[in-house]
Structure 1
Amino acid sequence: MLFTEDFLHYIWKFRLFNRINLRTTEGEELEVLSAGLHNSHAGADFQNARIRIGETTWAGSAELHISSSDWYKHGHTTDNAYDNVILHVVYRDDEPLMRTDGKRVPTLELHDRISAELYNRYHNLVFGNQTIIPCEASIATVDGLTMQNWLTRILVERLEKRSEAVIAALHVNRGDWEETFYQFLAANFGFKTNALPFELMARSLPQSILAKNKNNAMQIEALIFGQAGFLTDNLQDDYPRSLKKEYDYLAKKYSLQPIENHLWKFLRMRPQNFPTIRLAQFAALIVQANHLFSKILEVPEVKELRSLFSNIKVCNYWETHYRFDTQSKPAAKSLGPASVDTILLNTVALFLFSYGRHLKLQHFVSRALKLLENIPAEQNNIITDFANLGVNTKTAFESQALLELKNSYCNHKKCLQCSVGIKILKPN
């Protein structure tokens, strides 16, 4: 029989064992008044438990193990954090547990008190032959309220984890939110394939330098393309040659060193997504809205946030070019709706959440969640798999939560830490 400690915790937490005529392994009458609070940190598994043994009521901690002997294997004997354990709950009692004073720790054995039906449901859920997620046969039956509450909780978990990188970068940037946002936004403009060179370019070109030249669009584009390594000596067209002339002067003025040009990738990309076009769009955005994060904080409406990114206009040269010195048919080079949504999702919403959490300003956290509710759901294999199981998504709020559910819970079979799994396992 495959039996895990997580399952034992689940049984104890929800008291899903036969409680008729409970007794300790020494035969004393036992009543569980409170299972306690599940503890995921150091120390006993459940804290603030309350039990009655005989005529005495005890308050303290409960520690759970598959076998009694695990107490010794886990080194609890010499750990003071376990001195207040009032009950040892085990699946099988294979060795008496003694305190340092020679007295036996009260023990409850659950081996014969767990129903076969409950165990079979658990076993089929966690150890079955599912191909997508453990609960793929049952997830569609979970009620909407349970699902919505759980998705909200794990979406916040996802944003909290992602915000750790934001706060780490903020410390490196000495608390400068504008600079940190600028760096993350640049990486997002790389859209995965060119995220790294975009980020390196931004780190090599502080926003403070761009701010000093914000009124000159050519200088902004010269700085960005120059730092990206695209302004070389063999340029032919007048416009890039003019950019190079500007960059050579500015690079000397600000002691700038460009990144390696070979880092940029063009292979198997649609021309609209070429890094040169993304750099041109990024430059246009900087010209249009310097100190962009401050503007975002001041714009409460989702429609206005979207317009900050959807209305940028690149230099006329790029209307007929995808790369320097190579002319193409005229085509608009503004950011498309899908690209704008990606930026709002991965940078704007993340920073509103991080800013609100870091400064304890809840209305910015709420704005981040509202923004995700107004962005269409991403389309990828994971979201498609959930749709095939009957779990449909309309917004990025839902799709981001499902990605967290799949990657942090389903893939690791943490069904007993998931409200969906608990709902499916719980007896009717």
Structure 2
Amino acid sequence: MQEDFLHYIWKHKKFQINNLKTVLGKSIIITNGGQHNLNSGPDFFNAKLRLGEQLWAGNVEIHIKSSDWFLHNHEQDRAYDNVILHVVWEHDTDVFRKDNTSIPTLQLKDFIDISVINNYEKLFSKQSKWINCENNFASIDNFVLNNWKERLYFERLERKSKTIEALLKESKNDWEAVLFKMLAKNFGLKVNGESFFSIAQSLDFSIIRKTQPNQQTLEALLLGQAGQLEDDLQTPYYLNLVKDYKFLKQKFNLENNQVAPVQFFRLRPPNFPTIRLSQLASLYHKYQNLFSKVIEINELKGFYDLFKVSTSKFWETHYTFQKESKALNKTLTKPFVELILINTILPIKFCYAKQKGEIIDDNIIKIASIIDSEKNNIIKAFNNLKKCSSSALDSQALIQLKTAYCDKNKCLKCAIGNSFLNK
């Protein structure tokens, strides 16, 4: 038995509310169960109860056992002087306020239907399961699931907004700088994301602005900060990049000793850091004010057009500086652009609108709903239980579900978990 479960039972009145009595036989009529308090202090504020003939207004405290009141030293805490009812699973002792007045106690186990307990025990059984409700997930009502996924998607956007807001504070509200840092991280994907982010962090965005007009100079800046211009190679393009980077390093007093090393190991050649950094340089060479364009665009096709960029000419025949390869125009692919949209562009647009006091939820839902679902182990596992992810909105929602609810056993705060408990 968890205390959270008792909170859930009280909050949603999952017990026989008629003929309730305290352990001393006094009748209880619940007018208002109170407001759930998630911080310190009593568990439910501003409840209204009729105890016997008297109407009371105050707080409700919930424990597994009555004796937990003393275990938590509530009898010495004035914050609990206004508790009008002590709700427990098992009553094992009388409790008192700081002034020694007795507090009425409700023993919940006397008033709960056995089916509620059975559903709870099934959900939280100790069997080894990927998620607690995996045996019942396929039976979840589609209306419940779809509504919950939409809410989960916006929860995930809110979580990403915290990162964006921290970067905004750091950059003195420079949205262009924040967009560059977020894009850099996502251009690095999972393997080089932190490395690319550290490259972006090692530069003041004003340096990007000053080098944007010349694609080779911008590429030299990014590759140099990534530590990719430190070999003894004699090819003309490489030597030009080294020359440009040395000039930039001296002019802007650049350091890259805090930049995390980039990785090539176990990457497909199109995802090599050299290729991704060249594409990022091309993007910023092409658009002087990328952030304003991101905010203006409201259609998916517009974003595909915006990110229609490729590498510089040298990288059309190379994946590394050392070895030439078959000529290929290395443009950003549709799946890659969609990852950028999911992880950077839509969160940026959401956060910017929120800061401006605007509501663009419908537009974000529209775009996220027509982008293909991500493919990863979490999505695969959910789809094996029930086909439920066909769009980016779905996949982002399910990632939020797994990481913020399932992994933390927060079934009582989950619409899916609640639907099983309510059966």
The verdict on a shared fold, with TM-score over 0.5 as the criterion, is yes
- Which residue of 385, 410, 415 maps to 1:419? 415
Q: Aligned in 2, Cα 1:356/1:77: closer, same or farther, shift over 3 Å?
A: farther
- Which residue of 331, 334, 338 maps to 2:335? 338
Unaligned runs of 5+ in 2: none
Q: Equivalent residues in 2 for 1:187-202 (5 A)?
A: 187-202=185-200
Q: TM-score, normalised by structure 1?
A: 0.93
Query: Structure 1, residues 164-191: CA drift from partner, whole Å, max 9, x if none?
Result: 1221121111221111111121111111
Measure, in 1, the Cα distance between the counterparts of 2:109 and 2:170: 54
Q: Equivalent residues in 2 for 1:225-374 (5 A)?
A: 225-232=223-230, 234-259=232-257, 263-309=261-307, 311-363=308-360, 365-374=361-370
Q: Aligned in 2, Cα 1:256/1:19: closer, same or farther, shift over 3 Å?
A: closer
Corresponding residue for 2:71? 73
- In the TM superposition, residue 99 of structure 1 has moved relative to its aligned partner by 1.9
Query: How high is the sequence identity, in percent, across the aligned residues?
Result: 42
Q: Equivalent residues in 2 for 1:155-170 (5 A)?
A: 155-170=153-168
Measure, in 2, the Cα distance between the counterparts of 1:98 and 1:223: 70
Query: Structure 1, residues 54-102: CA drift from partner, whole Å, max 9, x if none?
Result: 2222222211111111112122223333222211111111111112333
Measure, in 2, the Cα distance between the counterparts of 1:388 and 1:262: 37
- Which residue of 372, 380, 395 maps to 2:391? 395
Q: TM-score, normalised by structure 2?
A: 0.94
Query: Structure 1, residues 246-271: CA drift from partner, whole Å, max 9, x if none?
Result: 22222222222345898121112111
Query: Structure 1, residues 279-329: CA drift from partner, whole Å, max 9, x if none?
Result: 1111101101133122111222221122211x1132111111111142111
Divergent runs of 4+, >6 A = none
Secondary structure of residue in 1 paired with 2:42: coil
Measure, in 1, the Cα distance between the counterparts of 2:17 and 2:72: 28
Secondary structure of residue in 2 paired with 1:246: helix
Tell me the C-alpha RMSD between the 2 structures. 1.9
Q: Determine if contact 2:227/2:261 at 8 Å carries over to the other structure.
A: no
- Which residue of 201, 204, 210 maps to 1:203? 201
Asked if 1:404 is matched to 2:406, the reply is no
- Which residue of 29, 32, 35 maps to 2:33? 35
Aligned AA (2:151)? R
Measure, in 2, the Cα distance between the counterparts of 1:187 and 1:320: 25
Corresponding residue for 2:118? 120
Query: Structure 1, residues 364-394: CA drift from partner, whole Å, max 9, x if none?
Result: x554443322321111111111111114211
Corresponding residue for 1:60? 58
Unaligned runs of 5+ in 1: none
- Which residue of 214, 236, 239 maps to 2:212? 214
